[in-house]
Amino acid sequence: MLAGIVAFIGFSFRLPYSASGAIMALLYCVPLAFLLRVFMSKRGAIAPSPESLVTFFPQYPTATLRRAIVAMERSCRTGERINDKKTRRLEWATILMAGTTVCVLVLQLVTALR
């Protein structure tokens, strides 16, 4: 999808300049923005790391283990929220790309029929 959007925007600059060509290129910037947000990554950390739990498990007091499990559960929920946002953005990018493609094809058809 990303390659298709970038290719269309690039090809639109090779066409003779017209207002409709500029509008078509601008329309594709909307799904492009959604796709770029999908590909942005967020760095997170699992606290404590599974390796430290394995290594130091026998020395951890029960209260520390409880806090560790709560922290791990919180980081998993945060990761799920981030993935859910990315999924919604990808779905919107797909819908917007399909809608933009239909609009562009209709605009080209109208322009060709004039």
pLDDT tens sequence across 87-104: 998 899 889 888 888 887
Residue 45 pLDDT class (50, 70, 90 cuts): low
State which amino acid sits at residue 25: A
At 46 the pLDDT is 62
Lowest mean pLDDT among 22-26, 52-56, 77-81, 110-114: 52-56
At 47 the pLDDT is 63
* Domain extents in the chain: 2-113
Q: Can you list the alpha helix ranges (DSSP code H) found in the chain?
A: 2-12, 19-27, 29-39, 50-56, 62-113
At 65 the pLDDT is 76
Global confidence as pTM: 0.63
